[in-house]
Amino acid sequence: MKGKETEYVLKNIFLYPIKSMAGTSLYEAEADVIGLRGDRRFMLIDENNRFISSRTYPLLTLIKPTVDNECIRFSYQGQDFVFPYHHEWKTFEAQIWDDTASVYVTHDSINDWISNLLQVKLRLVGLASENARLHTSASLPEPIPVSLADGYPYQILGTASIEKLSKMYGDDINPMRFRPNLLVSTSIPHEEDTWKTIKIGNAIFEKVKDCGRCQVINIDPETAAIDNNITKTLASYRKFANQILFGSLWKIKQTGIVHVSDSIEVITE
Q: What is the pLDDT of residues 223-265, one digit of tens each?
A: 999 999 999 999 999 999 999 999 999 999 999 999 999 999 9
Residue 1 lies in a domain: no
- What is the span of the domain harbouring residue 67? 9-268
DSSP string, 51-115: EE-TTT-GGGGG-EEEE-SSEEEEEETTEEEEEE------EEEEEETTEEEEEEE--HHHHHHHH
Residue 26 near residue 35, CB atoms below 8 Å = no
Residue 269 reports pLDDT greater than 90: no
Q: At what angle do helices 159-169 and 229-238 cross, to 10 degrees?
A: 110
* For range 42-51, the mean pLDDT: 98
CATH number where 145 lies: 2.40.33.20
How many domains does the chain contain in total? Answer: 1
Residue 18 near residue 29, CB atoms below 8 Å = no
Residue 2 lies in a domain: no
pLDDT reported for residue 69: 82
Residue 4 lies in a domain: no
Q: Which of 137, 143, 139 is nearest to 33 (CA)?
A: 143
Residue 38 lies in a domain: yes
Residue 1 reports pLDDT greater than 60: no
* For range 126-144, the mean pLDDT: 93
pLDDT reported for residue 70: 85
Residue 101 lies in a domain: yes
Half-sphere exposure of 236 (CA within 13 A, CB side): 9
pLDDT reported for residue 85: 81
The 10 Å Cβ neighbour count of residue 75 is 14
Residue 4 reports pLDDT greater than 60: no
